[in-house]
Structure 1
């Protein structure tokens, strides 16, 4: 029996399709070419030329990355291959890039993935619900929309004050929350994000993201999420603006809500709630 671990190429797509993972319409197969290029890297463990498990990572800025795309062929589970590959990918990520932090985000019900991550040194960091809705109408009242801040210097000040200094977990994209640090926020991204702030209180940040659907990604990771007047009205305003910019797409809303306050959602809330996501992380070893 021959075991080989190597980085996957777009030409390996057929091997990926031949894996029996039990996941219907797996997005990894649909965007396989993308996951093998650019700031993505995908690896596979082969047994006698048969692809039996995959794992990879995506870099965000120069020093941060998220590990993921953990898939295994059901016929080969329970033999330690996923742990072997994930450990290899972890090492490759730290060797290939000047990373300061590597994370992994998996749903709470995915116990096998969590066991693998814990076994190779990842620590649990936070628990979030990725809440999606077509509209937030059920949460609207008659509050005023918050004023918008457009100046780059002010945007960076708000990130530093309310995220870096407050040690929040900031979702750079849907599914990808990171510990907030100054180097995580790239100027090219910030210029496209919208910042809304009422007086000297924590700001709301909105941005466009595409994860199969097109979303207004609303970022407000604070405990007073359901007490701030005008917050949902501002999200609704930003969603409508984004819809006007992209009339050919249906814009949904995505918000990452901490598990500690999810119970505060009113009964008539519009969100679809799935199993919460557990963020694991590992700092660079000095």
Structure 2
């Protein structure tokens, strides 16, 4: 137990906060902009960007307030336990989020397409053979090429696996009190995540310009960009979380025995790694 936790109250109860309300309003503005954007409204991109900026500002001040409470010695071991349970349930919700996406992929590939190509539907789609990555019934989808596992997806897999190792090294260094090693390994993890996102951006450019693979490329295109895009978003969020953790570590906020912010971000990053392994096999190989 750190000295701050030893002096903390039995259980800290914060006062009324404006941040949940502002976060809800910010997310509402974001979704209004996004929904109008996909329907072609000219003003929608600006509203969407405004909503995203509002969300970021709210998160900055909200988490800053929580960090200040922690550094002021208001958090006890009970608060630490609450944060651990909260992060665990948050990651569980993310597991269910991706489970729904993988489930949609399985349903489309293994149930819907064979069903549409069976004998009962030959009247509607006489030329449709149920191809997972094809032109669609009666040529309704432009021809495209699928994304293979080489070389970028395999490189990205190695990058994420390596980042999990460097993050583990950083955690062990922190628990051993080696501050410099903690910073270096943590920076290496963030750098690997940034390189991953760079490769994924290049992969998307390649998909659109050379493979003609787009969001409109049937169920294959929509599930491909849905799964890889949301995973890329999670990698970006994880890199931001680790960057904040690195900044806090450099400010001396963590001790070898009191550093849940580091652990929570590490849990999230390892979850992102595991999701990518499943995605790499199901999307790029099968």
TM over 0.5: no
In terms of fraction of residues, the more helix-rich structure is 2
**RCO (CA 8 Å, sep 6+): is it higher in 1 or 2?**
1
TM-score range (shorter-chain normalised) is under 0.3
Of structures 1 and 2, the larger Rg is shown by: 2
TM-score (norm 2): 0.25
